[in-house]
Amino acid sequence: MRLNDLLEQKKAAIVKQWFNMVVNTYSLDTSQFLKNQKDPFANPVGNTISQGLEPLFNELTKQMDQNTIISFLEPILKIRAVQVMFSPSQAVSFIFSLKETIRKNLEKEICDNKVLNELMLFESKIDEMALMAFDIFMKCREKIYEIKATDERNRTFRAFERAGLVAESQEDRLCD
């Protein structure tokens, strides 16, 4: 049997275990909440993760359209980028946990050399997805730092302005 057929047969279990591994990267209380709260409005983080993992898994078993992958990775990584508890490597590590999940679910089948060879190729796709995830995460973090720097600059300028330490330039007066 081919690897893609095996993955399709066990997709529901693999995606569910992958989801659990992802939410287990959070604290115990948060993890329990993310797993148990099914209301997407009360649990947008859990919902975003849940909605993204199955399509990502499906893309791995297909041609791996980069735009499709990015469209499902980006919402997950935007959330993880704002959560300062994650270093860049921790934020994208959930991609690699898929390897462990697949190996556990295909433990018996991996003994077949053909399946093992296909799994090695499949895992290289997971690595490729992880690299995409890292790039997305870093762009999100850069945007966050840019927003913070702009906000701090504006706040400082307004403070100087209120203190009368900033004079209006001649160009500003001509524009009025």
* Model pLDDT for residues 61-88, shown as the tens digit of each residue: 998 899 999 999 999 999 999 998 899 9
CA-nearest of 111, 105, 100 to 7 is 105
Cβ-proximal residues to 81 (8 Å cutoff; 6+ apart), any chain: 91, 137, 140, 141, 144
* Model pLDDT for residues 4-61, shown as the tens digit of each residue: 999 999 999 999 999 999 999 999 999 999 999 999 999 999 999 999 999 999 999 9
CA-nearest of 153, 112, 142 to 5 is 112
Q: Please give the biggest Cα pair distance in the chain.
A: 79
d(CA 18, CA 50): 10
Which pTM value belongs to this model? 0.83
Domain ranges of the chain: 3-166
CB 35 within 8 A of CB 25: no
